[in-house]
């Protein structure tokens, strides 16, 4: 646990008692604060009481009279589409609003670091797609190369659940736009921007607000090194804002083109990763046969992870060896079965059009299971990438409408996962891939994309028995 600094003897309110909220409350108490907690869910209230946390109904008048700060869980809207009533009450009371990421960055460094030979580092990864894989891959490369490392944030553990820093340790944080948008302190040593595509637009009042939330990690964080995906205008904008001519502070990455100039670049073309500095190639890796990183979207993740680890002085051969032992994350291009020449891939994390398009580009002959709760913008952006789809098996509450939008694709409206898996298994032939890449959220039928992916994997195993 990271004890929170700066609130000793003060009362701090915590809104939202999921994983991050309960961890924040415990870390505040460990740092000498009094944490008063609230969640509208009675089940969450009971879980908090079972953990020994103090409850206070923050909706009541006067609830903030003795409160020094309000710590908000990431799923709670603080501005758009409408501020949560408790947050609005904190504003009216003049109480600063923060989140666990802000608490982490103000509390991670301690006086104990004066005795370390090597100062700990923090790598923060954000972007629309690939940030989980990139974060996990960075962590894997570090561990495989003998560097002490911890992984947290939007993946795995809450940031305040981490152990206090060890000498030379690297903390890798995956940060969503919900987390970067609100944090009052953002001070990573290395910040990574993978890419940008429309997502969470209601939460940020449009694409501009969404990008602004991501950009805070760089504009306000002031990282020593920035790894920036430049395949979209937003990434090129950030890179240009941060760079000084001829310096090595910004590392540009791409999977769409060879990057030139005198800067520090990492790009992948036709499955080959190349690193260039001052106009000369200094290293390369053949990514094509790395099983845990299939497709161009994973090659982008590989470029980002490679660049981040190079800034820490890890050599190309050490990075390549670690990449070859990387098995991938569940629900992200995860191979769950192979039978009679048919491969079954779980990419349930492909919850938007852009991530699904990248999954479709990773394989040549696809039986595609898709559908769910559609996001803004429709499916038009997917259509240029469906050429490898032999047939689509559509699930979800909006399956009929989803199927109608897939013009030029043979579709079968299945409704539920069991029917889709059964039909795809029956149709699939050797050399094909049965791919779950929904291009939609899961909440019409599942509590999370993880539950959806687990259901797919279970049904595949049952169908192959």
Residues 112 and 72 in one domain: no
Of 144-158, 367-381, 403-417, the range with the highest mean pLDDT is 403-417
What pLDDT sits at residue 56?
97
Using the 3D structure, point to which of 299, 324, 349 is the last residue of a domain. Answer: 324
What pLDDT sits at residue 329?
85
Residues 258 and 145 in one domain: yes
Residue 3 lies in a domain: no
In this structure, the number of other CB atoms found within 10 A of the CB of residue 358 comes to 25
Using the 3D structure, point to which of 98, 114, 131 is the last residue of a domain. Answer: 98
The two three-digit tokens of residue 11, written as one number: 């009362």
Which pLDDT tens digit goes with each residue over 384-424?
A: 999 999 999 999 999 999 999 999 999 999 999 999 999 99
User: Is residue 95 within 8 Å of 36, Cβ to Cβ?
Assistant: no
Asked if pLDDT for residue 156 goes beyond 80, the answer is: no
Phi, psi of 404 (to 5 degrees): -60, -30
Q: Across all residues in the chain, what is the average pLDDT?
A: 95
Which pLDDT tens digit goes with each residue over 31-66?
A: 999 999 999 999 999 999 998 999 999 999 999 999
What pLDDT sits at residue 376?
78
Asked if pLDDT for residue 436 goes beyond 80, the answer is: yes
> Predicted confidence band at 198 (pLDDT cuts at 50, 70, 90)?
confident
Residues 273 and 296 in one domain: yes
What pLDDT sits at residue 19?
86
Q: Report whether the peptide linkage leading into residue 284 is cis, meaning its omega lies within 30 degrees of zero.
A: no
Residues 288 and 209 in one domain: yes
Residues 292 and 413 in one domain: no
In this structure, the number of other CB atoms found within 10 A of the CB of residue 447 comes to 9
Residue 451 sits in a domain whose CATH number is: 3.90.190.20
Which of 80-84, 92-96, 197-201 is least confident? 197-201
What pLDDT sits at residue 246?
59
Residue 248 lies in a domain: yes
Residues 176 and 220 in one domain: yes
Owner of token pair 């736009």: 177
Residues sharing a CB contact under 8 Å with residue 27, sequence separation 6 or more, in sequence order: 1, 2, 3, 4, 100, 103, 107, 160
How many domains does one find in the chain? 3
Residue 89 lies in a domain: yes
Using the 3D structure, point to which of 266, 290, 324 is the last residue of a domain. Answer: 324
Residue 70 lies in a domain: yes
Distance in angstroms (rounded) separating the CA atoms of residues 228 and 242? 10
Residues 288 and 369 in one domain: no
Residues 196 and 248 in one domain: yes
Residue 329 lies in a domain: no
Q: At what angle do helices 207-219 and 233-242 cross, to 10 degrees?
A: 30
Annotated binding site for ATP: 127-133
Asked if pLDDT for residue 248 goes beyond 90, the answer is: no
Total residues belonging to the chain = 465
Residue 6 lies in a domain: no
Which pLDDT tens digit goes with each residue over 339-348?
A: 999 999 999 9
Residues 199 and 249 in one domain: yes
User: Is residue 442 within 8 Å of 452, Cβ to Cβ?
Assistant: yes
Residues 110 and 191 in one domain: yes
Which pLDDT tens digit goes with each residue over 117-147?
A: 999 999 999 999 889 999 999 999 999 999 9
Q: What is the mean pLDDT of residues 9-30?
A: 95
Asked if pLDDT for residue 245 goes beyond 70, the answer is: no
User: Is residue 127 within 8 Å of 229, Cβ to Cβ?
Assistant: yes
User: Is residue 80 within 8 Å of 25, Cβ to Cβ?
Assistant: no
Annotated binding site: 127-133
Q: What is the 3-state secondary structure (H, E, C) of 21-57?
A: HHHHHHHHHHCCCEEEEECCCHHHHHHHHHCCCEECC
Residues sharing a CB contact under 8 Å with residue 142, sequence separation 6 or more, in sequence order: 148, 149, 170, 172, 309, 312, 314
Distance in angstroms (rounded) separating the CA atoms of residues 3 and 77? 26
The 250-254 sheet, strands edge to edge = 149-153, 170-174, 121-126, 190-193, 225-229, 250-254, 264-269, 272-277, 280-286
The percentage of the chain sitting over the pLDDT mark of 70, rounded to a whole number, equals: 100
Residue 189 sits in a domain whose CATH number is: 3.40.1190.10
What pLDDT sits at residue 275?
98
User: What residue numbers bound the domain in which 340 lies?
Assistant: 334-463
Q: What is the mean pLDDT of residues 259-285?
A: 95
Residues 308 and 452 in one domain: no
Residue 1 lies in a domain: no
What pLDDT sits at residue 262?
87
Owner of token pair 């190369």: 145
Residue 317 lies in a domain: yes
Distance in angstroms (rounded) separating the CA atoms of residues 213 and 259? 27
Residue 59 sits in a domain whose CATH number is: 3.40.50.720
Residues 69 and 214 in one domain: no
What pLDDT sits at residue 354?
87
Which pLDDT tens digit goes with each residue over 87-118?
A: 999 999 999 999 999 999 999 999 999 999 99
């Amino acid at each position: 646990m990271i004890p929170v600094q700066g609130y000793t003897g003060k009362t701090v309110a915590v809104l939202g008692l999921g994983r991050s909220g309960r961890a924040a409350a415990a870390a505040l108490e460990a740092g000498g604060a009094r944490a008063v907690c609230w969640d509208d869910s009675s089940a969450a209230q009971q879980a908090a009481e079972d953990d020994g946390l103090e409850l206070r109904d923050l909706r009541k008048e006067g609830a903030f009279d003795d409160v020094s700060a309000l710590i908000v869980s990431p799923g709670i809207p603080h501005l758009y589409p409408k501020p949560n009533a408790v947050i609005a009450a904190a504003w009216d009371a003049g109480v600063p609003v923060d989140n666990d990421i802000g608490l982490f960055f103000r509390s991670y460094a301690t006086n104990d670091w004066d005795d370390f030979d090597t100062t700990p580092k923090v790598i923060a990864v954000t972007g629309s797609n690939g940030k989980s894989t990139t974060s996990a891959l960075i962590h894997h490369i570090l561990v495989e190369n003998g560097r002490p490392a911890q992984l947290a944030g939007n993946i795995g553990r809450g940031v305040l659940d981490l152990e206090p820093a060890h000498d030379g340790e690297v903390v890798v944080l995956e940060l969503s736009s919900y987390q970067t948008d609100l944090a009052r302190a953002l001070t990573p040593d290395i910040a990574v921007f993978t890419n940008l595509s429309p997502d969470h637009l209601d939460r940020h009042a449009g694409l501009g607000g969404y990008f602004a939330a991501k950009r805070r990690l760089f504009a306000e964080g002031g990282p020593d090194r920035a790894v920036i995906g430049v395949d979209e205008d937003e990434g090129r904008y950030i890179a240009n804002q941060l760079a000084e001519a001829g310096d090595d502070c910004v590392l540009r990455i791409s999977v769409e083109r060879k990057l030139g100039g005198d800067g520090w670049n990492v790009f992948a073309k036709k499955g080959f990763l190349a690193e260039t500095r001052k106009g000369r190639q200094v290293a390369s890796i053949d990514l094509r046969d790395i099983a845990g990183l299939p497709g161009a979207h994973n090659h982008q993740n590989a470029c980002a992870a490679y660049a981040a680890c190079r800034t820490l002085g890890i050599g190309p051969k050490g990075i390549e060896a670690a990449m070859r032992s990387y098995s991938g994350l569940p629900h992200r291009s995860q191979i769950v079965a192979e039978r009679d020449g048919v491969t079954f891939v779980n990419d349930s994390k492909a919850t938007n059009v852009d991530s699904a398009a990248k999954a479709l580009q990773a394989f040549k002959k696809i039986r595609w299971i898709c559908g769910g709760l559609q996001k803004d913008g429709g499916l038009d952006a997917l259509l240029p990438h469906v050429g490898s789809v032999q047939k689509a098996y559509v699930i979800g509450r909006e399956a009929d409408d989803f199927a109608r939008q897939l013009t030029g694709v043979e579709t079968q409206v299945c409704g539920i996962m069991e029917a889709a898996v059964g039909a795809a298994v029956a149709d699939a032939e050797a050399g094909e891939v049965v791919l779950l890449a929904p291009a939609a959220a899961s909440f019409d039928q599942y509590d999370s994309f993880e539950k959806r992916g687990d259901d797919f994997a279970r049904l595949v195993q049952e169908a192959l028995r």
